[in-house]
Amino acid sequence: MARTPAWEAEYVEYVAARQRSFMRAAYAMLGSWPAAEDAVQTTLTELYARWPRVRTGHPDAYGRRTLVNTCIGVCRKRKREVVTDRVPERQTGDGQASVDLMDALARLPVRDRAVLALRYLEDLPVREVAAALDLPEGTVKSQCSRALARLEVLLSPAETTGGNP
């Protein structure tokens, strides 16, 4: 005699609207679709468990915070923070550039990847990134700046040479 929560349909609707965004952000942080899927599943489970109390507040911030924490946890469990075993599941039309990007992201600390994923890949304003990462806005700005500078250095050889030989 299972009782279905009245809010469950609302949760399903929310997830349908947000899962693509969560998956992209997780992929940016973890560099692998299977790892991203696992992280998103964990996030959606947590989100369900907390839905009654986050639904009227800031579910996006809670969901993103959970996703980031999950991805950080995944990275900590790995021996290294760089994702060296990443192999894109699908080659894109501009595959080399994409591979270069993911390789460059993988060389950044996971917290840098998180801030870049939310700020630039998901186009979130600083305020929302700060809420998701539970950081002051000024810290988000400085982390973004440093992470972008690091990424630019990592990407610049590919830019100047037209890609890896």
Partner 1 sequence: MTIEQQLKDRFDRATEHAIPPADVPAAIARGRGRRRRRAGAYAVGSLAVLAVAASATVLPRLGEETPTAVPAAQGPAAPDGTFVPGTTIDTDLAAAVAAADPSLPAPTDVYPSDWSRDTPLPDADFANATEWQLVYDLSDRVELLVYVSKPIPGEPADQPVGTVVTGSNTIGDPAREVWFHSMLVAPDGHVVNAIEQVDGADPRRAEQRRVLTDARTEAVAQAPGLDFPDPVEPPAAP
Q: Which residues contact partner 1 by CB under 8 A? A: 1-6, 8, 11-12, 15-16, 19-20, 22-24, 27-28, 33, 36-37, 40-41, 44-54, 56-58, 62, 65, 69, 72-73, 76, 88, 90, 92-94, 97-98, 100-102, 116, 120-121, 123, 134, 148, 151-152, 155, 159
Q: Which two tokens stand for residue 40?
A: 């998103």
Please tell me the distance from the alpha carbon of residue 30 to that of residue 83, in angstroms, as a whole number. 7
Three-class secondary structure assignment of 10-45: HHHHHHHHHHHHHHHHHHHHHCCHHHHHHHHHHHHH
Nearer Cβ to partner 1 (76/79): 76
Least CB distance from residue 69 to partner 1, whole Å? 6
Least CB distance from residue 72 to partner 1, whole Å? 6
Taken as a whole, the chain contains a residue count of 165
Least CB distance from residue 165 to partner 1, whole Å? 19
Please tell me the distance from the alpha carbon of residue 157 to that of residue 165, in angstroms, as a whole number. 11
Nearer Cβ to partner 1 (84/152): 152
Give the end-to-end CA distance of the chain in Å, rounded to a whole number: 63
Nearer Cβ to partner 1 (82/158): 158
Closest CA to 102 of 153, 13, 93, 113: 113
Amino acid (1-letter code) at residue 42: T
Q: Which two tokens stand for residue 60?
A: 């996006």
Nearer Cβ to partner 1 (41/84): 41
Nearer Cβ to partner 1 (82/98): 98
Least CB distance from residue 58 to partner 1, whole Å? 6
Least CB distance from residue 88 to partner 1, whole Å? 7
Closest CA to 29 of 91, 81, 95: 81
